[in-house]
Amino acid sequence: MPPTAASVWLRRLIAVTAVAIVVVEAVNLVSADDPGYALFVRTVWALLRVIGFLVLMRAVRFGRAGARPFGLILAVTTVFAVARLTEPREGGLLPRIEVVVGFAVLALLCGAVVVLLYRSDAVAAHLSGRPVRRHVPGWVLTARVCVLAYSALVLVPLLVLGSGIGWFWYQLGGESSGAKVQVRLERGWGVSEVADELAAKHVVRSALAFNIYARFNGEKSFQAGTYDLREKLGVRGAVRALKEGPRIDYVVLKIPPGLWVKQIAARVAALGGGRSAQAFLDGTRNNAVRSTFEPADVSNLEGLLRPDTYKISESQDEIAILQTLAKTFDERATKLGLATANVQGHGAYDIIKVASIIEAEAKVDQDRQLIASVIYNRLAAHMPLQIDATVLYARGDPKNRKLSLKDLEIKSPYNTYLPNSGLPPTPIAAVSDKSLLAAMAPADTTFLYYVIAGKDGHHAFSSTAEEWQQNVDAARQKGLL
């Protein structure tokens, strides 16, 4: 019997539907942003769904027109879909609708396949162009197809699964006698980058196996640094070694008193390891790190980083180093009594500003408290401080220590030669304990002026402009000015 127009369109509809489902399933599996093990579970679940429909097809007693198979499969699918709709699921209603639509499409496809299998003689005749022997019942062909489909969809995946498990188990093991190798993990690397590096250094045989095992055990990243590992260590051994942490190699960061924060940033960058002066500077100004003594309306750590010698590990980035310097300053300043200090109405932050000026100006220890007294006395008299160190800071070049008369006119809140200038808005340098103590306990004097008086850097102090001019003339005679 030649195929009718309806049967031809039915076959076309089935073919298009089958291709569409295969494409959609393939795209979903390929584009799924899942770890390898999760993708494998999704694939097995899809195969099991198909197997379930095949078993359902075999259990149906086919009606002649195929209406009964369609109705029964759609009924079962409807019940199952309702159960899925009421099941708790992340994402709200949309993912549930997607599941129901997917099952409905599969049900229609399976129902169409049932009809074709039932009319297997007509299908075979249409495909081959010759009559089929009538004594082969349609249900026999249906059973054969079900058995073949079951074998293809179950036995083959089981073989693949068994092989995969064996391969994965082999990748987990390793040797403890392999050649020693150093592996460096950079900051910001995820598990995938770590896996590639380990495979490149022959620590593991497969980056994929390491990726799967690490993620399955909840490892999202590993600490940056240098690790002493061995070749052929295996996935399990590599994960265990990385979880113990890197070898700690220290570099020394020396910060002498009087450095500007930009100079400290340059020294941090000079440590290497991918550290950046700009990243350090940004951290001092964007509230990534704050000091206990930093006012709420200030975002600047100038003068709030303790000068000292630090041992910096490879794993410490710019922000971690900044945290160490600020924390060390806070602890030391608190121990010295800065938190409760008050000098002539000036609180802790103003005292740090004074200490930073002392640090920049004093060359000998005996001058520190005297310079502090000059600063407080001029502030009390509402006189501009007229201190060269603040103008140098306003100019912005710590290497150029010479000033011109034009520099004294720079429009900057740090230029203390300007009228009504007062203290600068922030400290101007890292302060030592000696300068901080001098700022908290200035000498009791009437001095308002000082000028260099010796080659060792000590100063001559005076209370009047006339005395100061005499000291200036004496310094010029000695060739100090």
Domain definitions of the chain by residue range: 5-170, 180-243, 250-335, 343-447
Amino acid at 110: C
pLDDT at 120: 47
Q: How far apart are CA 435 and CA 298, in angstroms?
A: 22
pLDDT over 80 at 50, yes or no: no
Write out pLDDT tens, residues 101-125.
555 545 545 554 544 444 445 544 4
Task: Return the residue matching tokens 């999760």.
Answer: 38
At 370, list the tokens.
Answer: 């005297």
Neighbours of 214 (CB within 10 A): 24
Neighbours of 202 (CB within 10 A): 15
Q: What is the mean pLDDT of residues 326-350?
A: 96
pTM of the model: 0.57
At 211, list the tokens.
Answer: 């990726």
Asked if 460 contacts 451 with a C-beta cutoff of 8 angstroms, the reply is yes
Higher pLDDT, 164 or 70: 164
Q: How far apart are CA 114 and CA 46, in angstroms?
A: 20
At 81, list the tokens.
Answer: 């879909």
Write out pLDDT tens, residues 342-382.
999 999 999 999 999 999 999 999 999 999 999 999 999 99
Helices 36-59, 93-118: inter-axial angle, 10-degree rounding: 40
Write out pLDDT tens, residues 418-428.
988 899 999 99
Band (436; pLDDT cuts 50, 70, 90): very high
Which class in CATH covers the domain with range 180-243? alpha beta
pLDDT at 82: 46
pLDDT at 458: 95
Amino acid at 60: V
Backbone phi, then psi, for 53, in 5-degree steps? -65, -35
pLDDT over 80 at 91, yes or no: no
pLDDT at 216: 83
pLDDT, averaged across the chain: 78
Q: How far apart are CA 392 and CA 360, in angstroms?
A: 10
Q: How many residues does the chain have?
A: 481
pLDDT at 218: 82
Write out pLDDT tens, residues 150-162.
555 555 666 666 6
Task: Return the residue matching tokens 């994929």.
Answer: 208
Task: Return the residue matching tokens 């082999």.
Answer: 170
pLDDT at 149: 55
Write out pLDDT tens, residues 183-214.
988 888 888 899 999 999 999 988 888 888 88
Using alpha carbons, select from 395, 394, 376 the residue that is nearest to residue 385: 376
DSSP, collapsed to helix, strand or coil, labels residue 225 as strand
Name the region of 9 (left: φ>0; alpha: ψ -120 to 50; beta: rest). alpha
pLDDT over 60 at 272, yes or no: yes
Neighbours of 394 (CB within 10 A): 20
Backbone phi, then psi, for 44, in 5-degree steps? -60, -40
At 397, list the tokens.
Answer: 């070049």
DSSP, collapsed to helix, strand or coil, labels residue 239 as helix
- The DSSP bridge partners found for residue 245 are none
**Which H, E and C letters describe 28-44, residue by residue?**
HHHHCCCCHHHHHHHHH
pLDDT at 175: 77
The end-to-end CA distance of the chain, in Å, is 120
Task: Return the residue matching tokens 């501009």.
Answer: 384
Write out pLDDT tens, residues 6-46.
545 544 554 454 454 455 555 555 555 444 444 554 555 55
At 178, list the tokens.
Answer: 């392999």
Asked if 212 contacts 241 with a C-beta cutoff of 8 angstroms, the reply is no
Higher pLDDT, 28 or 219: 219
Q: Specify burial of residue 33 (Cβ count, 10 A radius: 0-12, 13-18, 19+).
A: exposed
pLDDT at 84: 45
Amino acid at 307: P
What does the angle CA 455 – CA 461 – CA 467 come to, to the nearest 5 degrees? 110
Q: Where are the alpha helices (DSSP H) in 220-347?
A: 235-243, 261-270, 277-285, 318-335
Give the H or E element holding residue 213.
Answer: helix 207-216
